[in-house]
Structure formats: structure tokens, C-alpha cells
Amino acid sequence: MKLPSVSCPRGCFEAVLSLDTGYRAPVTLVRKGCWTGPPTGQMQSNPDALPPDYSVVRGCATELCNAGLTTHDAIPNLSHAPDPQTLSGTECYACVGVHPEDCAPEKSRRVQCHQDQSVCFQGNGRMTIGNFSVPVYIRTCHRPSCTTMGTTSPWTDIDLQGSCCEGHLCNRDSVTQPFTNASATVPPPAPQVMALLLAVLLPVGLLA
């Protein structure tokens, strides 16, 4: 798409935040604009947490330099097939979206869970870049530990709450209900974003 351009006094930035079920269903938030913060920041992630997610923020100082993050090709594969390709024997609903209806059971896929993912997860939360955020709703497979802490950085955050259950396709309850096991993440401070060029959700299912 053709994006508008603005004059930035100190450079540009672009950020991508992606959340995946781990079964080829991502939702991705992209934001671009003027930037007054440092160009990089340490990402904090928990490799044992599910669902898988990804976050990157890039600052730059030349004209129209924030054009590197535009498609799902900029995001690593968050739906790795297990190696060896063994299954846990559990089947769960899998979906992710920014509206509750995106995760209605009748719109969700039925997936065979990988290896140690022997329980089903359902939850909700928010995806945040700076002072801009969107709600997110999700169902997928999970490990019995049910750890949901997502990737964070000084400018991005995925905050999920949810619960796990045991049993065939047990994660069909409402994803809009309040959950008590909030992930242990702290929302990041909002950066000084002087102009918003793009805030777009790439549709679910575009990641090859």
C-alpha cells in the first residue's frame, strides 16, 4: 500500500509485534512513524512460554528509512513442526484474532497438539506498541505449566491472560471472560511518537 509521509525532526521508526497459535495462525501489528527514542532496545522473552510471539523495533535516521518491515517475510516462522514429528494425543481448538468472533469455536481450527503440549489454552489480552494497543483473543495447545508471559521490550508488549484445561477440544468456553492468571509482564513506557504513519493488522493466515 502507499503510505503518507511526514517530516520527522530526529528520524523514523518501525515496529512489528506478532502473536501466533504455533499452528500457522498469526496476527501481526505493524506501526511506523517519527521517533525520538534510542534506535534499539533489549527484547525480553521466555522460551518456555506459549503461545509463541515475536517483537522487533527499529529506529533509523535517513529519509524514508523505515520501510524494512512491511510483510510477514520479516517475521521468523513461529509455527515450527516438531522434530521428531510426534504428537501428544491431545486435540484443541486453535485461533487468534482481534475480535471475539474471530475465535468463535465454529470458526476455530481443530489441531493435533505437538509433543509436550498436552493441554488446551484459551485467553485474551492486548498487543501494545508504544501508546497504541489492540485487543487479542486466542485458543491453542499448551504445556501443562500454562506459562503465558510474552515477549516485551521498552516499547512493545504482549500481555495475555488465560487458562488451560485437559480433555478433547475442551477450550471452547468464552474468550471474553475475565481470567485470573495474568502474565507477569509490566506494560512498557510509551515512547514519544510524533506522527503515526501506519497501524495495520495483517490478516490471520498470511504467514507461509
SS (H, E, C) 80-131: CCCCCCCEEEEEEEEEEECCHHHHCHHHCEEEEEECCCCEEEEEEEEEEECC
pLDDT band at 41 (very low <50, low <70, confident <90, very high): low
Q: Tell me how far the alpha carbon of residue 65 is from its chain's centroid.
A: 24
Q: What is the value of pTM for the model shown?
A: 0.81
- Please report the pLDDT score of residue 203 as a whole number: 35
- Please report the pLDDT score of residue 76 as a whole number: 84
Residue in the structure block whose three cell numbers are 486466542: 138
**Neighbour count for residue 138 (Cβ, 10 Å):** 27
3-class SS of residue 140: strand
- Please report the pLDDT score of residue 80 as a whole number: 86
d(CA 46, CA 10): 33
- Mean pLDDT calculated for residue range 9-16: 88
pLDDT at residue 184 above 90?
A: no
Candidate from 99-103, 114-118, 196-200 with smallest mean pLDDT? 196-200
How many CA within 13 A on the CB side of residue 199?
Answer: 11
pLDDT at residue 39 above 80?
A: no
**Neighbour count for residue 204 (Cβ, 10 Å):** 18
- Please report the pLDDT score of residue 143 as a whole number: 95
What values do phi and psi take at 18, rounded to 5?
A: -130, 135
Domain 12-65+87-201: homologous superfamily in CATH:
CD59 (2.10.60.10)
Candidate from 36-45, 94-103, 165-174, 181-190 with smallest mean pLDDT? 181-190
pLDDT at residue 70 above 90?
A: no
Asked if the bond preceding 51 is cis, omega within 30° of 0, the reply is: yes
- Please report the pLDDT score of residue 40 as a whole number: 62
- Mean pLDDT calculated for residue range 117-130: 95
Pairing type for strands 132-142 and 87-97 reads antiparallel
More confident residue, 139 or 195: 139
Candidate from 47-61, 67-81, 175-189 with smallest mean pLDDT? 175-189
